Structure 1
Amino acid sequence: MLLTVDAEEEFDWTGDFSRQGYTLDHVPRIAKFQQFCGSLGISPVYLIDWPIAQSPIAQDIIGGAVAKGEAEVGVQLHPWVNPPFDEELTRHTSFSGNLPPDLERAKFRALRDLIEEKFGTVPRIYRAGRYGVGPATAAMLSETGIAIDSSVRCRFDYSAEGGPDFRGHPCTPYWTDVQRKLLELPLTTVYWGMLRKQGDALFPLARNSAVLTSLFSRLGMLERIALTPEGTSAEEALRAVDIALDDGLPVLTLSFHSPSLSPGHTPYVRSEGDLDRFYDWLRTVYAYLDQRGVHPTTVAEIIESVVV
């Protein structure tokens, strides 16, 4: 199991994108989370975007954990807050893969170099903000030393907003190029229920009908379960683990957004009680993973395991 954290600023997920007006109030809470991970023997991967990379508090907390070998860092590109700002700010351009390749590359390189400078390590993993990979992304990553991309959220479709459609993409890791330079490590999502083998065809139909979605779920016919504490119950997550293991996934990838570590910044954690339940979710899932013989892993271990 690889635990990835989208380490990012706080902003209104339902509003328009802006280059200003974000906050970083949750960042001190990362220290508690890092201690929690240490108690469970987990080395989290912080996928850092531009505002987090500039934060002295984040540099101290995350950089300190990296220096001790207790965490890793990667790159997460939020183009709307990442210079250079040469694009018109729209929902379409909030997906970095929709930018002109030279601009996508310039933003990425600026962020990658800043992370290396401020956190004292070379990042080897990437995730596009909003999962917004594009046709030039893989080549950009390969030429800059990134070994793993984790932007694919299999079984999700963002095309209605101009983003990528990941339906039909593999949920197992795969090479993006024949030279085997860039490994795609999708976020773990499974279908559960009697009709799960037909999930790619049926789930989009059910999603367009609240009645059909409710019926499928109530009768145990079809549900989509993402391995995340954000919007997924612990009971659902345990089912997802069983299905992923039954399907032979060699690596499970769990993810959430760092603002969920403090109440009031995401729809998933609105109170301290919600935050307690958030941590309980992680305890429950990791205890079950241990029972199933699934152990925490790291980016370094994954890279080492696939080197030929």
Structure 2
Amino acid sequence: MLNPPAPSATAQFAPHFGQRVLLTIDTEEEFDWSAPFRRDGYGLSHVKALPRFQNFCEEIGAHPVYLVDWPVATDPAAVEIIGDAVRRGTADIGVQLHPWVNPPFGEEITTANTFAGNLPHTLEAAKFTMLRDRIEQAFGTAPLIYRAGRYGLGPGTAGLLKAAGIRIDTSVRPLFDYSAKGGPDYSRHPLVPYWADAERELLELPITSVHWGLLRNLGAGLQRLSTRIPLALGALSRLSLLERIALTPEGVSIEEAIRGIDIAHGSGLPVLVLSFHSPTLAAGFTRYAADEAGVEALYGWLARIYADLDRRGISSCTVADIISATSDNA
């Protein structure tokens, strides 16, 4: 999972699946992203914004996947709100591991240790198992999809996911490199879904990010080169030569996202994976929604993007849809 896969690992989808979209939400506690990590002092005030968001998703035809971490999975209000949507079949539940707030606590809090895959395997497995079991107990269904908090996969993550019955991992963020902070380097990973294991039981569903611009075919090499030259990537973007676009309302404009969709759609990508963090649904908890205007901008972004996807014939899918479409083609 940490190394780019061989081309032969690319997953094949059933022909009837077409091109679809999956909306994933890192459903987590509120914390100061610029401050040192800590086990306490977080909040869950934004949970009261979830009903509006869920209703909005149902109105625009989105099927959200709530990737919940320990603070959310142990919060009665969050469990009731998200659980209602899961029971009605209008949302899916998944796992997101933030190791610094997830028991058992056997590690020092360092930046490197916030990437769960860096922990000793027994500790990563213990934290994951407690969270997975809590989610099944709270929501009444076994989660089938996982995202490592901070995209922090490790060498043993695939094995523990398979042992727990997880069928899809969506931790890989192509074109992004977190190694300077002690995390994984995904700059060489493909955008297409692929099998993360030899037995083809665990599907890797990368979060969608693409290169756009006149030099996009040289994007990977130029992006790696730009890490040695401060501001180089920004200059290339301003000149419309090379731009990295992630499909998220957090820091990406509607116009940029539509350019990204053009690339992903044109390449035949079977699943476009959108993502953002749940605290952005309320004002003041992330830099992407510093005030109410920022929250409304997020809703406006989603409305425009889903209208554009609908125009292209790209409809929403569920976790079960993806599993079904790939199981017969493993």
The bucket for the TM-score relative to the shorter chain is over 0.9
SS at match of 1:47: strand
SS at match of 1:252: strand
Q: Which residue of 1 aligns with 2:40?
A: 20
1:138 is aligned to 2:138? no
Q: Which residue of 2 aligns with 1:108?
A: 128
1:121 is aligned to 2:141? yes
Structure 2 unmatched runs, 5+? 1-20
Q: Which residue of 2 aligns with 1:255?
A: 275
| Matched residue type, 1:36 | F
CA distance in 2, matches of 1:215, 1:84: 45
| Matched residue type, 1:28 | K
Q: 2:241 aligns with which of 218, 221, 225?
A: 221
Q: Which residue of 1 aligns with 2:213?
A: 193
Q: 1:167 to 1:211 in 2, by over 3 A?
A: closer
Shift of 1:55: 0.7
Q: Which residue of 1 aligns with 2:185?
A: 165
| Matched residue type, 2:31 | F
Q: Which residue of 2 aligns with 1:52?
A: 72
CA deviation profile, 1:154-178 (whole Å, cap 9, x unmatched) = 1100000100000111110000112
**Count of aligned positions:** 308
CA distance in 2, matches of 1:117, 1:228: 30
Farther-moved stretch of structure 1 (257-266 vs 213-222)? 213-222
Q: Identical aligned pairs, as a percentage? A: 56
SS at match of 1:86: coil
CA distance in 2, matches of 1:132, 1:218: 31
Shift of 1:208: 4.8
1:271 is aligned to 2:291? yes
- Structure 1 runs of 4+ with >6 Å offset: none
Shift of 1:210: 5.0
| Matched residue type, 2:95 | V
Shift of 1:205: 2.8
CA distance in 2, matches of 1:207, 1:288: 33
SS at match of 2:45: coil
| Matched residue type, 2:143 | P
CA distance in 2, matches of 1:209, 1:56: 48
CA distance in 2, matches of 1:208, 1:293: 41
Shift of 1:43: 1.4
1:99 is aligned to 2:110? no
CA distance in 2, matches of 1:213, 1:167: 14
CA distance in 1, matches of 2:72, 2:234: 39
CA distance in 2, matches of 1:152, 1:217: 23
Shift of 1:251: 0.6
Q: 1:214 to 1:105 in 2, by over 3 A?
A: closer
CA deviation profile, 1:129-181 (whole Å, cap 9, x unmatched) = 00000000001101110000000001100000100000111110000112111
SS at match of 1:118: helix
Q: Which residue of 1 aligns with 2:62?
A: 42
Shift of 1:215: 2.8
CA distance in 2, matches of 1:27, 1:209: 41
Q: Which residue of 2 aligns with 1:205?
A: 225
Alignment of 1:70-81 (within 5 A): 70-81=90-101
Shift of 1:22: 0.3
| Matched residue type, 2:261 | V
Q: 2:53 aligns with which of 33, 36, 43?
A: 33
| Matched residue type, 2:57 | C
Shift of 1:2: 0.2
CA distance in 1, matches of 2:47, 2:290: 16
Q: Which residue of 2 aligns with 1:184?
A: 204
SS at match of 2:322: helix
CA distance in 1, matches of 2:238, 2:176: 22
